[in-house]
């Protein structure tokens, strides 16, 4: 028989297909939730936020607000018919403050009115009596008072105390990295529409429709099947719409329940930044023992996070930080402790990297300090501590590193940029320039993929094939601009061997795929792609049986290719076979399911295999600092990123670039500043500085690692991409430290915290000069 033609379909896997909403994004035709026309009678909502960081709520008086024009309802904690608890992990986290307001911006009440202006005006008329209490605002104060939102976590191996005592050399130090606002372009928003009887339909800008479903059901006292949550797209999320979106959707649903009318709640940027959580700031303290070659023999580290007023996702963030505190390095004797400190600030939450950036920030401070103390190149000390192959290959939490390619990744980087020559150019510049100093540093990354909580590593999908050959796809993942929908469409197109334009992805809905996990942990394509592939495979097998009967050949000889179905030199169009299946009463619909294999985790013991595999990357960055003003510029960034066998190189390239720039912002310009009363001073674009076009390095090159398929059986051997490149930006922080170190004794580690504002750089410069005098 003649083999099927070897034509490539349009838009299958490994094709650089544009984002499925790309045209809509640039023309404005892509509809976000606030763009969707509402039905007549829809009400607008506004929040009443606490002006105090810590205060007892003595009374709430709605009389003046309810008398205002257009006002239809007002609610506080006492008006909630169900359970006022939307905690994603623990318990006792109210949607509306109940008895005590615990941060400036804490939602205390909400108003629904005919128009947005009326709702916001009425919110200012709500009279609340507060008894102000002393707040706790810093990690240090929380540590001193023993205030935590969750129990301490620990990962330990070996005998750290004796190993430290026996080490030839020892250093102690600390490092701090700040928080970061998600600053998604589309703010928090939800539209709740009451249905028949007790049903509630919620349209939400959320990464986690199932969590919104559960939160709304708890607040209203309903079973989960009475609440349906839909998400078509988000205008950015970055973790900020994982748990935080439930607050907004829950309050909208409460007002809709009370008025029996649709209610939309959308936050203004200032309110959004004050009321919703951010990346966790960390205080990191360490003591390290090492030999004269720079090999670490013992390490004792404390990771203390500012969790804010409630636990939220902090326990999971701490766990992931500890699981990334090794980065690429074998630590024979190690104790890692994680504390989620309670403060009277907004509850910090998920953010791209989910503790991984802070974990790596800490260990890189240690490696840099060791290298400087020994006057060895940073890359030399790193190489001597890298995980090995067949030896020194087990993490502190007991997982064997079986896919180690970090030395290959670093070699690819060096081969592309010639690090030795680059370093000599930096040194020559610094000798000739007394005021402006340059720095150069590299950053290796090993980032684990999977949720630490094993239960969450599952996904579902729903696929229909219609009689014209077009395909409808639904899955549990959400689209927030990252390109998930087009990747899953490519997977299904590849499975059926049809052009990707024939596959349409519909809005994520709890009514179609139930019990979903958040689109987070960089696992969206891994899990939902495999679930969609499972569903497509089931339909394809049925179609193959029909084709085999039609052509009179065994099903094993049926080949799907080039939008057709072949049996030797005979073929049918895919659409013809679809109609034939329908006529023969063969189902063209299937659910699909996937659960990540091999993983397990014991959080109490701090042991297990929490990750299915690791993603690797490396960066080299050059910066310049002005030692008189503290101004800094990132001049050049060279990145090598491991994507496995990329499903969509164009999407993966964009994700790598975007993640790096977001990491750059975290470490340089994005400063969150609170005053002594706990008021956030940086709550809008006028005071909170995200990276702009001039902050992106003028020389910015990204290379996707070639010929590196995932060793694990992921969807078409691809790897996750959403989070890992963010940590490559730590090279910028290390390069700035390198520039500061050029001013004094090279054995001294610069005291430079992040974000590296001009004030902090100047302080680091002065400190380096003083210690070197």
Tell me the pLDDT tens digit for each residue of 685-695: 999 999 999 99
**Domains annotated on the chain, with CATH:** 400-445+613-773 (3.30.365.10), 458-595 (3.30.365.10)
| Mean pLDDT within 246-265 | 98
> What is the distance between the alpha carbons of residues 33 and 24, in angstroms, rounded to a whole number?
14
- Which single residue is written with the structure tokens 């129990």? 151
**Using an 8 Å Cβ cutoff, are 309 and 363 in contact?**
no
| H helical segments located in 438-523 | 484-496
**Using an 8 Å Cβ cutoff, are 257 and 200 in contact?**
yes
When the pLDDT of each residue in the chain is averaged and rounded to a whole number, the result is 97
Distances (CA, A) of 128 to 66, 113, 220, 274: 14, 19, 24, 19
DSSP 8-class letter at 110: E
Q: What's the number of CA atoms in the CB half-sphere (13 Å) around residue 499?
A: 5
Q: pTM of the prediction?
A: 0.97
Long-range contact set of residues 603-606: C-beta below 8 Å, sequence gap at least 24: 603/153, 603/319, 603/452, 606/153, 606/154, 606/155, 606/156, 606/322, 606/336, 606/396, 606/397
Segment 653-692, tens digit of pLDDT: 999 999 999 999 999 999 999 999 999 999 999 999 999 9
Taking every pair of Cα atoms in the chain, the longest distance, rounded to a whole number of angstroms, is: 89
- Strands in 390-498 per DSSP E: 436-449, 458-465, 471-475
Residue 319: is its pLDDT beyond 90?
Answer: yes
Segment 599-624, tens digit of pLDDT: 999 999 999 999 999 999 999 999 99
Residue of 461, 723, 453, 713 lying closest to 597 (CA atoms)? 713
Structure tokens at 123: 């919110």
Segment 429-456, tens digit of pLDDT: 999 999 999 999 999 999 999 999 999 9
> What is the distance between the alpha carbons of residues 740 and 738, in angstroms, rounded to a whole number?
5
As annotated, the active-site residues are: 723
Residue of 503, 482, 506, 484 lying closest to 494 (CA atoms)? 503
Q: Return the SS3 of 721.
A: coil
**Using an 8 Å Cβ cutoff, are 54 and 100 in contact?**
yes
Percentage, residues of the chain above pLDDT 70? 99
Q: Return the SS3 of 122.
A: helix
Distances (CA, A) of 414 to 383, 407, 421, 724: 13, 10, 10, 20
Residue of 31, 518, 513, 509 lying closest to 229 (CA atoms)? 509
- Residue 571, beta-bridge partner list: 566
> What is the distance between the alpha carbons of residues 548 and 567, in angstroms, rounded to a whole number?
8
Segment 505-535, tens digit of pLDDT: 999 999 999 999 999 999 999 999 999 999 9
> What is the distance between the alpha carbons of residues 241 and 276, in angstroms, rounded to a whole number?
9
């Amino acid at each position: 028989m003649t083999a099927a033609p070897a034509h490539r379909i349009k838009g299958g896997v490994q094709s650089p297909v544009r984002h499925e909403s790309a045209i809509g994004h640039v023309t404005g035709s892509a509809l976000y939730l606030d763009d969707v026309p509402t039905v007549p009678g829809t009400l607008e909502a506004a929040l009443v936020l606490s002006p105090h960081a810590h205060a007892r709520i003595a009374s709430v008086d709605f009389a003046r607000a309810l008398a205002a024009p257009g006002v239809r309802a007002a609610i506080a904690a006492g008006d909630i018919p169900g359970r006022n608890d939307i905690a994603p992990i623990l318990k006792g986290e109210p949607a509306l403050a109940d008895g005590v307001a615990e941060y400036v911006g804490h939602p205390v009440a909400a108003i629904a009115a005919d128009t947005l202006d009326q709702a916001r005006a009425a919110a200012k008329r709500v009279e609340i009596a507060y008894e102000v209490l002393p707040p706790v605002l810093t990690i240090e104060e929380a540590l001193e008072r023993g205030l935590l939102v969750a129990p301490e976590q620990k990962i330990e191996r070996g005998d750290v105390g004796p190993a430290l005592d026996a080490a030839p050399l020892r250093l102690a130090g600390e490092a701090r990295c700040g928080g970061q606002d998600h600053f998604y372009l589309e703010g928090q928003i939800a539209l709740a529409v009451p249905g028949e009887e007790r049903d509630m339909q919620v349209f939400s800008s959320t990464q986690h429709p199932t969590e919104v479903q559960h939160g709304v059901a708890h607040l209203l006292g309903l079973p989960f099947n009475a609440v349906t949550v839909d998400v078509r797209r988000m205008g950015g999320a970055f973790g900020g719409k994982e748990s935080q979106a439930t607050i907004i959707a829950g309050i909208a649903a409460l007002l809709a329940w009370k008025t029996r009318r649709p209610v939309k709640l959308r936050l203004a940027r200032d309110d959004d930044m004050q009321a919703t959580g951010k990346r966790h700031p960390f205080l990191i303290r360490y003591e390290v023992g090492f030999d004269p070659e720079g090999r670490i023999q013992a390490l004792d580290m404390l990771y203390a996070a500012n969790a804010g007023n409630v636990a939220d996702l902090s326990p999971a963030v701490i766990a992931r930080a500890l699981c990334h505190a090794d980065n690429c390095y074998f630590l024979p004797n190690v104790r890692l402790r994680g504390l989620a400190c309670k403060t009277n600030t907004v509850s910090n939450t998920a953010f791209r990297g989910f503790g991984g950036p802070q974990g790596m920030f800490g260990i890189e401070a240690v490696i840099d300090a060791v290298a400087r103390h020994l006057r060895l190149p940073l890359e030399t000390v790193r190489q001597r501590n890298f995980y090995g192959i067949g030896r020194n290959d087990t993490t502190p939490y007991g997982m064997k590193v079986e896919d180690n390619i970090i030395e290959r990744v670093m070699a690819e980087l060096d081969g592309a940029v010639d690090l030795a020559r680059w370093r000599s150019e930096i040194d020559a510049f610094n000798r000739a320039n007394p005021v402006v100093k340059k720095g150069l540093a590299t950053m290796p990354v090993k980032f684990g993929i999977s949720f630490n909580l094993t239960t969450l590593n599952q996904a579902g999908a729903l696929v229909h094939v219609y009689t014209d050959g077009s395909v409808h796809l639904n899955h549990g993942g959400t689209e927030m601009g990252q390109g998930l929908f087009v990747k899953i469409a490519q997977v299904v197109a590849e499975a059926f061997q049809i052009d990707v334009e024939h596959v349409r992805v519909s809005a994520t809905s709890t009514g179609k795929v139930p019990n979903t996990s958040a689109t987070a942990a960089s696992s969206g394509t891994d899990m939902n792609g495999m679930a969609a592939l499972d569903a497509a495979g089931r339909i394809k097998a049925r179609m193959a049986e029909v084709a085999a009967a039609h052509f009179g050949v065994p099903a094993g000889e049926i080949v799907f290719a080039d939008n057709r179905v072949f049996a030797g030199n005979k073929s049918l169009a895919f659409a013809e076979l679809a109609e034939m299946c329908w006529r023969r009463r063969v189902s063209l619909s299937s659910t699909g399911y996937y659960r990540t294999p091999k993983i397990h985790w014991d959080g109490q013991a701090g042991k297990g295999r929490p990750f299915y595999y690791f993603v690797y990357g490396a960066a080299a960055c050059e910066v310049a600092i002005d030692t008189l003003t503290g101004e800094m510029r990132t001049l050049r960034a060279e990145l090598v990123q491991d994507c496995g066998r990329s499903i969509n190189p164009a999407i993966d390239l964009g994700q790598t670039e975007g993640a790096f720039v977001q990491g750059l912002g975290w470490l340089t310009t994005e400063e969150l500043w609170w005053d002594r009363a706990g008021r956030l001073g940086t709550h809008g674009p006028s005071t909170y500085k995200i990276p702009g076009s001039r902050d992106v390095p003028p020389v910015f090159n990204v290379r996707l690692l070639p010929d590196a398929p995932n060793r694990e059986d992921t969807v078409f051997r691809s790897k996750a991409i959403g989070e890992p490149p963010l940590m490559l930006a730590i090279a910028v922080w290390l390069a700035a430290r390198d520039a500061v170190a050029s001013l004094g004794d090279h054995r001294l580690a610069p005291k430079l915290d992040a974000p590296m504002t001009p004030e902090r750089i100047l302080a680091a410069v002065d400190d380096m000069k003083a210690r070197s005098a």
